[in-house]
Amino acid sequence: MSELTPEMAALKARLKAAWNTGDYGRFADYLQASALEFLGRIPIQPGVRLLDVACGAGQLAIPAARAGADVTGIDIAPNWIAQARARAEAERLTVRFDEGDAEELPYADGSFDIVVSLIGAMFAPRPERVAAELVRVCRPGGRIVMGNWTPQGLTGQVFKIISRYAPPSPLMPPPVLWGDEATVRERFQAGIAELRLSKRLYHYAYPFPPAEVFEFYCETYGPLNRAFAALDSDKQQGLRNELVALWSAHNLADDGSTQFSSDYLEVVAIRA
């Protein structure tokens, strides 16, 4: 296990607390359609050993297990792991879910044929360690597949707005750098035989208007929940107004619901 400075240990504890807040199972329900599209581009053969890093409430792990994969999911947030286990048990699926850190994966070298992370491992504070761990646990010839928000996409703009009200730690590079092609090529040099990068669209659809989307995020999405709670009333109103305005400007629906899309970078790395 790597040594942590007191400052990094404190940051990681804060991040874990943030992700453990809210209700990610409900939050992810509205993200499932594009998650299944992402998974559908990964050929899942029965018996393939698949690791889902930062697995949330199992939105990739559960359908991968349905397809016959031998699935392990890992996430830093214990409440999400509990939800994922409950979902697997309800469907009588055999899936291993572990509480753990993307920077210190508790698995042997080359344990998995496919290592995936959809909008997950990008939020760990030490990306160089994440990249090394994803490569390490993937077998030679296996695949590492990530989906990461881009800096320019709509969700990247959401993060930019939030960071103005709740500045991130200087110890942590912007997570959306995982959606920058040049940065990803730098991070995936060692141990990679081939790297393919593709821009994709992630589709959001909520059966309520943008103002209610904000309230839904505050209730269910841990990082926004904690950031919002730490602000005074004027800043809370400013953050609410900016995000509602952004979503309203990009809303494709005209029936009182909210629909929009955001760019993400799909990363497919073949292990050397």
> What's the confidence (pLDDT) of residue 43?
86
pTM for the structure as a whole: 0.96
In CATH terms, the superfamily for domain 6-150+171-202+263-271 is Vaccinia Virus protein VP39 (3.40.50.150)
> What's the confidence (pLDDT) of residue 2?
61
Sign of the CA dihedral with 46 first, then 148, 125, and 195 last:
positive
> What's the confidence (pLDDT) of residue 3?
78
> What's the confidence (pLDDT) of residue 22?
85
Consecutive 10-residue runs of the chain (272 residues): their mean pLDDT?
85 93 89 95 95 96 97 96 96 97 98 98 97 98 98 96 95 97 97 98 97 96 92 97 98 97 98 98
Distance in angstroms (rounded) separating the CA atoms of residues 41 and 46: 15
Distance in angstroms (rounded) separating the CA atoms of residues 163 and 168: 6
Question: In Å, how far are 13, 91, 146 from 222, measured between CA atoms?
Answer: 14, 26, 22
Phi then psi for residue 161, to 5 deg, are: -65, -50
Half-sphere exposure of 118 (CA within 13 A, CB side): 26
